[in-house]
Every structure is written in C-alpha cells, then in structure tokens.
Structure 1
Amino acid sequence: MGVINFSKTNCKHCYSCVRACKVKAVKVKNDQAEILEERCIACGKCIKACPKNAKEIESDVYVIKKFLEDGETIAVSLAPSFVVAFETLSDKICGALKSIGFNYVEETAIGARLVNKVYEEYASRLDETCYITSCCPSLNELIQKHHSELIPNLVPVISPMACHGRLMKEKYGQDTKVVFIGPCIAKKNEAKEEDSIDAVMTFEELISLFQCKNIDLGKCEKIPLDAIATKERIYPILGGITDSMDKNKIKRELLHVHGMEQCLTVLKKIKNGRFKDRFIEMSLCDYGCINGPAMPESELIIQEKQQLIRKYANKDEKYADSLEEFCNKISMGKTFDAKLKPLKEPSEKEIREILENIGKYSSRDELNCGTCGYDTCRDKAVAVYNGMAELTMCLPYMKQKAENLSNVIFDITPTIVVVINKKNDIVDLNPAAETFFKIKKKWAIGINLSALMEVDMINELTQSNENSISKKAYLKEQNATVLESIIKIKDSDSMLIVINDFTETLNQEEKYQQMKINAVEVAQYVIDKQMRVAQEIASLLGETTAETKVSLTKLKRLVQGEEVD
C-alpha cells in the first residue's frame, strides 16, 4: 500500500481526485477511488482536491511514539520551511521537541550544503545535457515512473534529507533513530529507500503529536538548534536551490520551474530537444516546498512565506556545529531506476466499442469536457480498457440517460403532472395534463395555474411549514373528482402538482351500485311473484281437495247402501 489512500466511507464518486491527478494514478472501481501505487508520485494533489477530506496518509507517528517510549536516541532533521509552518512560534520548535524526548534537532539545510557541491559541479559542465535538480522526490518519481527516458538528465545525487540523515548517523551513532520533519508527503516514499531515515513526520502530524502530548507551543522554551546552515535555508522557495549555490561555479543558463503544469511542459520540451545546456531547478509544488501538501493552513500569501524564509536565511548566525569531519564518510551518489509500467494500448476498434457504450458514435459526440478527470473521451476509453475508469464516470452520458428515463416516465404516465413556480405560473406539464386540461403545452407554459384550476390547496401549502399536502378535491371546470397532491421541490422555488383523476372510477362504482340495486329489486319482484303463485296454487289445491273429499264420501255411502243427501 502507498502513502496515500482514500477512505471508502467518504468517497462520493465526484472524480475531483481524478481531475487533479496529472499522472492518472487514481483508479475508480465500484464508484470508489483507489491509488495506483505503480503510477502515484505522492504529490498530494488529490488530497488537496478532495472535497470530502477522504484522505488516508500513511503515518509514522506511532513508530516515533514507540521510539520515545523505548528511550531511543532520536535525532531530528528539520526542514527549513518550519519557519513558515509555525510562523511566530517557530523559534520554540526545538524546545517543544526536546520536551517530548527528542535528543537532537538539526536543520536539513546542513545536508543541502553537500548536495549543492554536487549541483555546482554539474552546473559547471560544458556539455549540452540539460540537468535537472533531484531533491524533489515527487519530481524524481514523475520522471522514473512516467518519463524514464529523462533519467539521465537527473543529477545523480541524494537529497538533502538523505544526506543529513547519513551525516547524523555518523555523528550520533548508527543506532540513532533519525526522524525527518517537513511539508512533503513524498518524503515518506523516499525514506523507504533510504536507510539513514527511520521515520518521516509532516508538519501537520507534528502538530497532532504536540496536541497528543499536551504541548502548548507558546509556553515552550526557546532553544537553539543543535546544528544549522544559513544560506541553504532558502531551498524551500522558488529559485532557492540555485540562489544558494556558488554563482562563480555556474557556467550554464539557469531555469526555475515550479508546479505540475510547468514541470510537465518543460519535461516535454526537454524530450523534444528544446532545452540544452541548461541547469533546471524543478519543484512539483507551486512556488516550492513552502507550498507543500502537508503544510498547515495559513493566511499568509506566497510572497509573505518567501519573505519569512529569506529573513530566516539572512540571520547572522554561526554554525552551531561543524560536520566536515563526517562529510568524507558518506556516499553522495544515487541511482535512479526506471519504474515505468505503461498502460495497455487498445485497438481503434476496441476504443470505438467503449465510446459507443457511452453514446459516442462519432467524433461529434466526443465532448472532451474533462468532467470524468480525463482530458479527452479517448483518454477515458483507454482508462476504461485498463480497468482504471468506469463507463458511468461520463457525466453527459449519465445525464442524458437519466433525462431519457425521466422523460419516458414523465411522458407516458397517466398521472397528471404540472410544475409551477413560486408565482403559480406553469413551468412544465406532461401529456396527461394536456389532455385533462384540454390545453397544449406550448400555450400552457407561462400562464397562471389559476386559469385552469382552483389554487386554494397551493396557497394553503405555501403558508404552512409542510413540504407536501394531499386531499380529495372536485374540479368544477373539468367536472372531475381527483386526489390532488402538491409537493415543494427541495432547494427550489418550484412546486409539483400531481393529480390522480378517479372520476371514471367513481362513475363505474355508481353504475355497479345501481346494478346491485336493480338486481335486488328484480330478485324481490321474483320472490313476491313466486309467493303469489304459490299462494294461488295452494288455494286451488285446497278447493279441489275439499270437493274430492265430498264426492268420495258420497260414493262410499252409496256402496254401503246408506242414504245419500
């Protein structure tokens, strides 16, 4: 895992980090941003760009706390930009560090003294090679990972941090733990390849450590640093490296380049042979290390920061300690290896297929808006092919897709939908509303809703604190019984009117009810009729039965010889 990562819980697929990363070291997978270590140069641009502060920076604070707890001898290499980070309290940093348990505090600028000697030697050469300073670790990573053909242009010397670390190991003993404190995140990566640096802490992390240890910087003692270097203190500002060099030894033209955009432009020109016989001071941070990604927030403008550094560098101070006796014991050389891992190149057919999947069927569809973080739609397609980006990162495509879906729903729904503004003027309405109100959309837009229906419910909602209201209503003009819902649209002065017309349903129910009544009446009539028939039958049966009985009785008497009346 690299020194920078993103919190999965906070990342909101806004692609700000992708847009900020000029080397495209941010991968998006399942709407989550991830850092590609093989491409990352730890410049920290993504951290500054993240609106959700979803950053996770690898920290050595716990390692340093362990050093302190174990009673280790600890020597601090303090970057000169600390005078900008802590401003008026910078003269108390040494006292604060020693009160915590750090044993020695020296300026990193001491290492810059020896690095300058190597730079001066290369600046005095008369060949046509364009030499580039190599004290910015992000710049070194940029060249090693993305422009490896320019590695021969880097001055092959260790950084002031590494040099100072080696000097302190010689001076205080190899078992001494050396901690670098500065404004740079990329130093954490550099330290992994440098045995003389045991831990790296940014100024922001130092402030957190002070808070953890309940250190009030304002109440700390003013203690001078154990070893200093004066003119090299201007290293953190633009032009500071070459300004601190011996001008008598420089025999070629100097260039000061800062910021990602300028550095990329100059590197491209060096490749094209535009610059020759130059000595170029490069820093990926705008205006140098005083604008590093781990510098605390400050209201100071760049010019004020530069003044602080120059004022500090011009102090009339003597070296608190000489390290000349240790200079010959350390190696200053550095080998820069190519770390380039080029992306896979898709064929033209594969690019076209990817573009067509996001609705880009011709060059006219390729807006190259850059919202996804890539300069062109084709660059985005290459990223998709390499698994670094997702199709859904295309905002115009997703917007069109969402609009198409919402338009389909808006157009085909049988529900009546009307959008009005705060003045009750119609902003939009769907086909169902056109049919219901018997008005064409082009004529309806802009007229007041009161011309079509009563607006009592709208006024009621406007005057209340509610966000919506629903009621059954009868619309006289349309002779319709409806369920009317009015909804305030969030973060807007508009309201949504949704009307469900159930007049036909009511009519159907009335018809059904009448049919039931008719059926009951018919059934009752049949029942009554049957009862009358039954009664008539019973009456007839009663009469005939009586007559039959009389006749049979007479017949019986006759048979028996009796007299019959």
Structure 2
Amino acid sequence: MTNLTYDQIFSKLVKSAYDGNLSEEIDRLQQEQDEQLNQYIHYATGKGDPERVVFKVKDCGFDCGCEEDGCQVSCLLEAIERDEQGRVVINGNTCTDCGQCVDECKYGCLVDKKEFIPLVEVLKDRKVPVFGIIAPAFIGQFGPDVTPGKMRAALKKLGFYGMVEVALFADILTFREALEFDSHVHKEGDFVITSMCCPMWVSMIKRVYRKMAFHITPSVSPMIACGRGVKKLHSEAKVVFIGPCIAKKAEAKEPDVKDAVDVVITFKELKQIFEATGIQPAEMPEDEKEHSSTGGRIYARTGGVSKAVADTLKRIRPDKPIQIKAVQAHGVKACRQMLQEALEGKITANFYEGMGCVGGCIGGPHVLIDAEEGRRWVDQYGEEASSLTPADNKYVLALLKSLGFAEIEDLFNEEKSKIFSRSLNEEKSLD
C-alpha cells in the first residue's frame, strides 16, 4: 500500500506535466505495482467515467463509524450504502457527485477526480486561449497579500490567457433575479426560490422537493453565466472554473449547461498547482482589471444573494409595493428544513435562498481558510467596490451591451436571455 496521499500524487503529476515528463513520472510510480497508487494516478489524471466526479478507491473497514459521523450522514440523497459485507458503496443512480462525502471521509477512501492534468499541454502551448474564471469566494483564500491583480498575474504565468471574476456575472444574474421577483411577487403569500449559486441546493430541489418547482427562478449559476459569456465573446476559448466546491465539477457536466465550462479545479487544487510549479502569487506584479459591484462580490457568503437582489430591486423598482423579505438556510440539514416548511405552507418570506455548505461558498469543502475569516474578506472586498448594485455599475452595463443586451429588460426576454437561463422542469423527482 502506497504511503503517498492522493494530493501528493496530484502534485507530483502536475510538476512532471509542466516539466514535460509526465509519462516518465507515471511509469516510475507504477513500477511499485501498487493497486492503490494506480487508482490515485488514474483519477488524478482525469480518467474514469467522464460523467462522474466522486469515486471509491479503497475500503475503509466495517467499523469506521460512517453511519453516525461521516460519509453516509453527509450524503444529501443517501447515495452512500453498505453491501452485504458491510463495505461502503456509492449508488450511482442517486449520487449527484456533490463531493460532501469526499470531504467527510477520514480514511481517504473516496476521492474526487482531478481535471487539470490534461489541460497542461494546452496551457503550455498557448495556441488556444484558456480563461480562468474565479469564484467570488477567492478573495483572501491565498493569503492577505494576494490581490485580485496578483492572482490574475499568477494564472497568466501558469499559461492562462486571462482571468475573469465570476462576481461580474453574478452582477448580471442579480438583475435577472430582481426582474423575476418583480414579475412573480405581487401580493402577500407570493414567493420565489432562487436557483442560482449552489448545485447542492439545486439538486435538493430537483430531486426531493420537486413540488416547489413552480416557484424556482430559471437562472443559471454565475459559473455557467460567466463561462457562456466568455465563450460568446471568444468562441475558440476554453474555460476553467476555480472555486471552493467539488459539486461544481458535477454541475459543469449537466446536459443543459455543459457548453459553458470545460474544466473545474478547486482552490485547494490551485494551491497545489502553484506549489508544484513554484509560482508564488503574493510575489507577482499587479494586473488589475475587474469592476464588479458589491452585490456580485458578496455572493460568496450566506445571505449575499438575497442582499444583492434586494438592493438591486430597490434601485430599479423603488415604487414596488412589496419589496424582498428574504430567508436563508445554509448547510444541508437547514436547507431541507426550510424547504419542507415552505412545502407545508409555512411561508415566512417571499425570497428563499439556500447554500449547501455552512456559511455559503466560503465554507466549501476545498477552501483554504475558515469560513469566518472568509466572510470577513468577502465583506471587505464588497465594501471596496465602487458601486453597490449592478444598476450603478457602468462596466456591467457595458458588458451586457457587448453580449447583445441593449436594455436591462432584455434579460427577461426569453429568446435573448437563453445564455443565462435553464429549465429544471425535466428533472425527475425522488419524492
């Protein structure tokens, strides 16, 4: 049994890929003829079922305690099961590849597939522009001295053509959500459920609380919106999403949105990539370009979406008699409880926001700092923005025009806004 961890194997392979001797490194590692090591290499190089993200690589024993505190308890849809011998099995029919079990497993038995290695040659070749689109939760994750400009410079040194903050497209979706609310909420008792940011929240609605579908807004996530936006402006580009979430790897493969993002890597993986290649983001020169508003930047934490949409609604529909009264839940248990209460008619708000991780994206499984520190960084970055809402952000308005939206109301036009829309109505329910 190898004494190398999955993360250590990934780091070795990243370094060898950039050094141009990946095949030789794999051959050297495989000389040990260790089945566990081969499994690690297999998934670290992006192999395995192309539609799946989470894989079991070894048995953890029969008395690991997962039923009380671990992968089985963390699973949203009870996809972690036991076979007749008591071994953990992933039920592929119900697993959504959210990655919660990977984060909870204490024995390294479950891993999420890495997608970066096959991209290295494209980055080195530089013939195809590769854009890194980075989640709003990134601020502060790589140290206090790593500004957005330095992060952009570090990604360019890796071979990326450029970096786009997903917060910029969160701004655009804030407009859409405000318009959706304005269209659907007219009296007490009306409400909408935002479907944007969190793939775990979306899976919960699609699979378990299907009867709530009538209230779901049809917006894609900021990740998908950003990926599609980049590809509309640069048709030949590849897009790599960088964030704190394993579940985003699964979201990027969903049939109705898989056109947007080619590869997903996490903050943890990016840190390993920087270390393997000797790049120190804090020492990079500044390369500033981003112009997102406060609203887009605070999407990373619980309540951020609600505040962004509420502030924007007040800005564009100040005379609307019913403004947003929001309620949020974070963590799988709290999200399920909130949806169940709404299903039972215990309506306490007119805007429902859910985040699968405690704290929101800043509490994701592959963050590099704790959630409280992450929230402080996100709030500070939000306060530094030159505009509170996208309605006051000239850069967002200019971006919309370049994407073909002459007026804000065009975001509510079914034909024009396909780039930012999806439908959850064809998904099957498990209830």
Please indicate, yes or no, whether the TM-score normalized by the shorter chain is above 0.5.
yes
**Aligned residue among 136, 140, 161 for 1:80:** 136
Q: Show structure 1 runs of 4+ deviating over 6 A.
A: 318-321
Name 1:90's counterpart in structure 2.
146
Mark the CA change 1:189 to 1:210 in structure 2 (over 3 Å): closer, same or farther: same
Name 2:302's counterpart in structure 1.
238
Alpha carbons 1:104, 1:226 under 8 Å: kept: no
Which residue identity lines up with residue 153 of structure 1 in the other structure? Answer: H
1:192 to 2:253 alignment: yes
Please report how far the alpha carbon of residue 293 of structure 1 lies from its aligned counterpart in structure 2 after TM superposition: 1.2
Distance in 2 separating the partners of 1:341 and 1:325: 38
Distance in 1 separating the partners of 2:141 and 2:93: 31
Alpha carbons 1:96, 1:215 under 8 Å: kept: yes
**Aligned residue among 362, 372, 375 for 1:303:** 372
Name 1:35's counterpart in structure 2.
90
Mark the CA change 1:99 to 1:303 in structure 2 (over 3 Å): closer, same or farther: same
Please report how far the alpha carbon of residue 233 of structure 1 lies from its aligned counterpart in structure 2 after TM superposition: 0.1
Which residue identity lines up with residue 90 of structure 1 in the other structure? Answer: V
Alpha carbons 1:177, 1:197 under 8 Å: kept: yes
Distance in 1 separating the partners of 2:89 and 2:357: 22
Please report how far the alpha carbon of residue 202 of structure 1 lies from its aligned counterpart in structure 2 after TM superposition: 0.8
Distance in 2 separating the partners of 1:320 and 1:67: 30
Per-residue CA distance 1:254-285 (angstroms, 9 max, x = gap)? 11221111111111112111116611111111
Name 2:73's counterpart in structure 1.
19
1:6 to 2:45 alignment: no
Alpha carbons 1:252, 1:279 under 8 Å: kept: yes
SS at the partner of 1:77?
Answer: strand
SS at the partner of 1:81?
Answer: helix
Alpha carbons 1:43, 1:186 under 8 Å: kept: yes
Alpha carbons 2:295, 2:304 under 8 Å: kept: no
1:283 to 2:355 alignment: yes
Alpha carbons 2:298, 2:378 under 8 Å: kept: yes
Which residue identity lines up with residue 7 of structure 1 in the other structure? Answer: V
SS at the partner of 2:300?
Answer: coil
Per-residue CA distance 1:472-514 (angstroms, 9 max, x = gap)? xxxxxxxxxxxxxxxxxxxxxxxxxxxxxxxxxxxxxxxxxxx
**1:57-136 superposed matches below 5 A:** 57-71=112-126, 72-91=128-147, 92-124=150-182, 125-126=185-186, 128-135=189-196, 136=198
Please report how far the alpha carbon of residue 311 of structure 1 lies from its aligned counterpart in structure 2 after TM superposition: 0.8
Per-residue CA distance 1:406-430 (angstroms, 9 max, x = gap)? xxxxxxxxxxxxxxxxxxxxxxxxx
Mark the CA change 1:212 to 1:131 in structure 2 (over 3 Å): closer, same or farther: same
Please report how far the alpha carbon of residue 178 of structure 1 lies from its aligned counterpart in structure 2 after TM superposition: 1.1
Per-residue CA distance 1:294-323 (angstroms, 9 max, x = gap)? 212x3x4x4332221111112255877841
SS at the partner of 1:89?
Answer: coil
SS at the partner of 2:252?
Answer: helix
Alpha carbons 2:295, 2:305 under 8 Å: kept: no
Mark the CA change 1:277 to 1:312 in structure 2 (over 3 Å): closer, same or farther: closer
SS at the partner of 1:201?
Answer: strand
1:147 to 2:180 alignment: no
Alpha carbons 1:129, 1:276 under 8 Å: kept: no
Distance in 2 separating the partners of 1:49 and 1:309: 25
Mark the CA change 1:175 to 1:13 in structure 2 (over 3 Å): closer, same or farther: farther
SS at the partner of 1:123?
Answer: helix
**1:256-295 superposed matches below 5 A:** 256-275=328-347, 278-295=350-367
1:56 to 2:93 alignment: no
Name 1:212's counterpart in structure 2.
276
Mark the CA change 1:22 to 1:330 in structure 2 (over 3 Å): closer, same or farther: closer
Alpha carbons 1:130, 1:276 under 8 Å: kept: no
**1:478-517 superposed matches below 5 A:** none
Aligned length: 339
Per-residue CA distance 1:383-409 (angstroms, 9 max, x = gap)? xxxxxxxxxxxxxxxxxxxxxxxxxxx
Please report how far the alpha carbon of residue 129 of structure 1 lies from its aligned counterpart in structure 2 after TM superposition: 4.0
Which residue identity lines up with residue 353 of structure 2 in the other structure? Answer: E
Q: Mean alpha-carbon deviation: is it higher for 329-338 or for 276-285? A: 329-338
Name 2:30's counterpart in structure 1.
none
* Greater strand content: 1
SS at the partner of 2:92?
Answer: coil
1:333 to 2:417 alignment: no
Alpha carbons 1:38, 1:145 under 8 Å: kept: no
Per-residue CA distance 1:96-150 (angstroms, 9 max, x = gap)? 1011110111110111112111211233321544311112111111111222222
Name 1:546's counterpart in structure 2.
none
Which residue identity lines up with residue 103 of structure 1 in the other structure? Answer: Y
Which residue identity lines up with residue 160 of structure 1 in the other structure? Answer: P
Q: What residue ranges of structure 1 are gaps of 5+ in the alignment?
A: 344-565
Please report how far the alpha carbon of residue 10 of structure 1 lies from its aligned counterpart in structure 2 after TM superposition: 4.7
Task: Report sequence identity in percent.
Answer: 26
Which residue identity lines up with residue 131 of structure 1 in the other structure? Answer: V
Which residue identity lines up with residue 274 of structure 1 in the other structure? Answer: K
Please report how far the alpha carbon of residue 60 of structure 1 lies from its aligned counterpart in structure 2 after TM superposition: 1.4
Mark the CA change 1:36 to 1:221 in structure 2 (over 3 Å): closer, same or farther: farther
Mark the CA change 1:284 to 1:157 in structure 2 (over 3 Å): closer, same or farther: same
Name 1:170's counterpart in structure 2.
232
1:314 to 2:383 alignment: yes
Please report how far the alpha carbon of residue 47 of structure 1 lies from its aligned counterpart in structure 2 after TM superposition: 2.2
Per-residue CA distance 1:5-52 (angstroms, 9 max, x = gap)? 222155665222112224211122243323223323444332232111
Please report how far the alpha carbon of residue 342 of structure 1 lies from its aligned counterpart in structure 2 after TM superposition: 4.4
Which residue identity lines up with residue 220 of structure 2 in the other structure? Answer: I
Please report how far the alpha carbon of residue 227 of structure 1 lies from its aligned counterpart in structure 2 after TM superposition: 5.4
Q: Mean alpha-carbon deviation: is it higher for 250-259 or for 197-206? A: 250-259
Distance in 1 separating the partners of 2:159 and 2:291: 18
Mark the CA change 1:279 to 1:220 in structure 2 (over 3 Å): closer, same or farther: same
Distance in 1 separating the partners of 2:62 and 2:274: 32
**1:419-438 superposed matches below 5 A:** none
Q: What residue ranges of structure 2 are gaps of 5+ in the alignment?
A: 1-48, 388-393, 406-415
Name 2:399's counterpart in structure 1.
323
Please report how far the alpha carbon of residue 87 of structure 1 lies from its aligned counterpart in structure 2 after TM superposition: 3.1
Mark the CA change 1:62 to 1:12 in structure 2 (over 3 Å): closer, same or farther: farther
Per-residue CA distance 1:161-191 (angstroms, 9 max, x = gap)? 11111211122x2110111111111111111
Mark the CA change 1:303 to 1:69 in structure 2 (over 3 Å): closer, same or farther: closer
Please report how far the alpha carbon of residue 90 of structure 1 lies from its aligned counterpart in structure 2 after TM superposition: 2.7
Alpha carbons 1:63, 1:199 under 8 Å: kept: no
Task: Please give the TM-score of this superposition, normalised by the length of structure 1.
Answer: 0.56
Please report how far the alpha carbon of residue 247 of structure 1 lies from its aligned counterpart in structure 2 after TM superposition: 4.5
Distance in 2 separating the partners of 1:314 and 1:99: 29
Alpha carbons 2:341, 2:347 under 8 Å: kept: yes
